[in-house]
A and B are shown apart, each in its own frame.
Chain A
Amino acid sequence: MSSLPDAEDLLARLADRMRASVTPDTALVGIHTGGVWLAHRLHKALALSQPLGTIDVSFYRDDYGSRGLHQKVRPSNIPFEVVDADIVLVDDVLYTGRTIRAAMNELFDYGRPKSIRLAALIDRGGRQLPISAQFVGAEIAVARDEQIELRKNEKDQLSLAVSPVGAA
C-alpha cells in the first residue's frame, strides 16, 4: 500500500483549487466532524466573510432504519441566510455520496440556496449515487474492507489514517 499523502499538504492544495472560484460571500458549510475541521481552516485560508455553517446529517441519513440513531448527534448551526446563498459543502472523505445527499436534504430544509458545490479533501471513488465534488484535494484508492479518516492532534494538525472497517 503506497504511503498516504500529508493532510496539511492536501488542505493547502484544496484551498488553492478553490480560491479562484469563491467570493467573500461564498458560504462554507462543514459536515461533522472532519468536514467541520476542514471548513474552519478553509474559511480562514480563503478569507471568507460569511459566518461558517456546520451540519450534522444524523437526522437525514438513509441508514437510520437499519442502524438507528447515531450515538453522538451534534446540533447543526447555519448562522447565515440559506435562501439564495452560494454554498460550498465541505467534507473530509467523499465515498458513496450518501452523506452529501443527506447534507443537501438538510440544507434544503433551511431554505432554497442559489447553488451548492462540494469540496472534499479525499475522493476515494465507490460512488453509489450521482454525486460529484467540484473541488478535490486528492483521489485515493481505498480497499472496500478499509476506511480512510481524517484525524486532528492536540496541536490542531491534520493527518490521514487508513484502518480496517470496524476497527475502534
Chain B
Amino acid sequence: MTGYNPQLDANGKLQHLLTIEGLPREIVLHILDTAHSFLSVGEREIKKVPLLRGKAIFNLFFEASTRTRTTFEIAAKRLSADVINLNVGTSSQSKGETLLDTVANLSAMHADMFVVRHSQSGAAHLIARHVAPYIHVINAGDGRHAHPTQGLLDMFTIRHYKKEFTTLRVAIVGDVLHSRVARSQIHALTTLGVPEVRVIGPRTLLPSNVAELGVHVYHDMAAGLRDVDVVIMLRLQNERMNGALLPSAQEFFKYYGLTPEKLGNAKPDAIVMHPGPMNRGIEIESSVADGRQSVILPQVTFGIAVRMAVMSILAGNA
C-alpha cells in the first residue's frame, strides 16, 4: 500500500483530488495558477468556457450540503459540463444499497467525474479505488479527514491578499479535532512553505497528536494571535456541547470567539477567513465578520474558480 499515491496516475498526473496530503507542491501551485485564470472568466458577461462540454459530473452527496454542492454545480456549469445532483443520503443508501453499488450503478450511466461528500473519513478514497480508470473523483469532504478544495481556495485567498507564503504566520482557531477543513488547510500551508502554522483552541477540541502535523499549539487566543498575518476561524457545531467537549457556546465565545479586541493582537493588516457557514456570536463577532479585514465573501468567489481549476485539470488528464 505504501509508496503509491492513489491520487496520481502512473505518470504522476492528478487522477483524483482526495486530500492535499501527499500532493506534490507543483500540483498545488498549478491548481492555484489555473484558478487565477478562471477568476477572470467569472468577471465577464458570459461566465462559461467550453472545456468540459459533453462531460457528465455527478455530485454524490451522501452528507447533505447545499452550499458546497451549489458551488461545485456552478463551477461545473461554467465549464459547460452536464451536472447531475444526487442526494444519495435520501435515496439508495437508505434502501440498503452499499456505497460501492451506488457508485457502480452511476458509473454505468457514463459519469466522467464524481464529486463526493460523505460523513465517513476515507469514503472518497474507497470510491476512487473502485471506479473505472477514466472516472475522476473529487473529495468534497469526507468525515473529519479532508476537504481539499476548501483548503485550496483558502490558499488561493491567502495568496491573493498576501502574495508570498514563506513569510507568513497563520492561525487556525476552533474545533480542529472535528474539522476536515483544518486538516486540509494545515497540509496545504505546510506544503506551500508557510513557516509558522498555529492552532488555537481548548484541549478538548484539538487532536492529541496535532503537533505532529507540524503546527504550534496555543490555548490562549491572545498569545496565539500575536503578530499573525492570517486568522482562520472554524465553525463550532452544536453537538460539541453534548459530548462534554465544551460547557457552552457563550464560554467558547469568551475565550475563543474572534472579537475586534482579540483581532487586535494580530498584525494590523491581518486577514480574517472562515470556511462558512458562520455562527455569528459563537466563533466570530459580526463586526469582525463584516469588517474591513474580513475576506470571507471573496473566499466564496475564489471557491468557484478553484473548483473550476480542479475539474478542468482532472478532466484533461485522460
Taking Cβ atoms with an 8 Å cutoff, the residues of A that contact B are 56, 58-60, 64, 67-69, 71-78, 105-106, 109-111
- Say whether B56 faces chain A, with CB atoms less than 8 Å apart: no
Contact at B313–A111, with CB atoms within 8 Å? no
Contact at A109–B48, with CB atoms within 8 Å? yes
Contact at B37–A59, with CB atoms within 8 Å? yes
Stretch at the interface among B38-46, B66-74, B87-95: B38-46
**A contact residues around B316 at 8 Å (CB):** 64, 67-69
**B contact residues around A73 at 8 Å (CB):** 33-34, 37
Q: Tell me, rounded to whole Å, the shortest Cβ–Cβ distance linking B82 to chain A.
A: 16
Contact at B51–A59, with CB atoms within 8 Å? yes
A-B pair count, CB < 8 Å, reads 49
Taking Cβ atoms with an 8 Å cutoff, the residues of B that contact A are 13, 30, 33-34, 36-37, 39-41, 44-46, 48-51, 312-313, 316-318
Minimum CB distance partner of A55 in chain B: B40
CA distance A60 to B37 in the complex (A): 13
Contact at B46–A76, with CB atoms within 8 Å? no
CA distance A46 to B34 in the complex (A): 33
Interface centre among A64, A73, A77 (most CB of B within 10 A): A73
Minimum CB distance partner of A74 in chain B: B37
**A contact residues around B317 at 8 Å (CB):** 68
Residue pairs across A and B with Cβ atoms less than 8 A apart, 29 shown, are A58-B37, A59-B37, A59-B41, A59-B50, A59-B312, A60-B49, A60-B50, A67-B316, A68-B316, A68-B317, A69-B51, A69-B312, A72-B33, A73-B34, A73-B37, A75-B36, A75-B37, A76-B37, A76-B40, A76-B41, A77-B40, A106-B49, A109-B45, A109-B46, A109-B49, A110-B44, A110-B45, A110-B46, A111-B45
Q: A68-B313, A109-B44 provided; 5 other pairs, C-beta below 8 A?
A: A71-B30, A74-B37, A106-B49, A109-B45, A111-B45
Q: Tell me, rounded to whole Å, the shortest Cβ–Cβ distance linking A113 to chain B.
A: 13
**B contact residues around A59 at 8 Å (CB):** 37, 41, 49-51, 312
Contact at A69–B313, with CB atoms within 8 Å? yes
CA distance A76 to B34 in the complex (A): 12
CA distance A60 to B49 in the complex (A): 7
Q: Tell me, rounded to whole Å, the shortest Cβ–Cβ distance linking A71 to chain B.
A: 7
Minimum CB distance partner of A72 in chain B: B33
**B contact residues around A110 at 8 Å (CB):** 44-46
CA distance A72 to B37 in the complex (A): 10
**B contact residues around A69 at 8 Å (CB):** 34, 51, 312-313, 316
CA distance A67 to B48 in the complex (A): 21
**B contact residues around A68 at 8 Å (CB):** 13, 313, 316-318
**B contact residues around A106 at 8 Å (CB):** 49
Minimum CB distance partner of B52 in chain A: A64
CA distance A79 to B30 in the complex (A): 25
**B contact residues around A72 at 8 Å (CB):** 33
**B contact residues around A60 at 8 Å (CB):** 49-50
Minimum CB distance partner of B34 in chain A: A73
Minimum CB distance partner of A63 in chain B: B316
**A contact residues around B30 at 8 Å (CB):** 71
Q: Tell me, rounded to whole Å, the shortest Cβ–Cβ distance linking B64 to chain A.
A: 31
Q: Tell me, rounded to whole Å, the shortest Cβ–Cβ distance linking A123 to chain B.
A: 27
**A contact residues around B34 at 8 Å (CB):** 69, 73
**A contact residues around B13 at 8 Å (CB):** 68
CA distance A74 to B34 in the complex (A): 7
Q: Tell me, rounded to whole Å, the shortest Cβ–Cβ distance linking B28 to chain A.
A: 14
**B contact residues around A78 at 8 Å (CB):** 44
Minimum CB distance partner of B40 in chain A: A75
CA distance A56 to B39 in the complex (A): 13
Minimum CB distance partner of B49 in chain A: A59
CA distance A167 to B33 in the complex (A): 25
CA distance A111 to B40 in the complex (A): 15
**A contact residues around B36 at 8 Å (CB):** 75
Minimum CB distance partner of B13 in chain A: A68
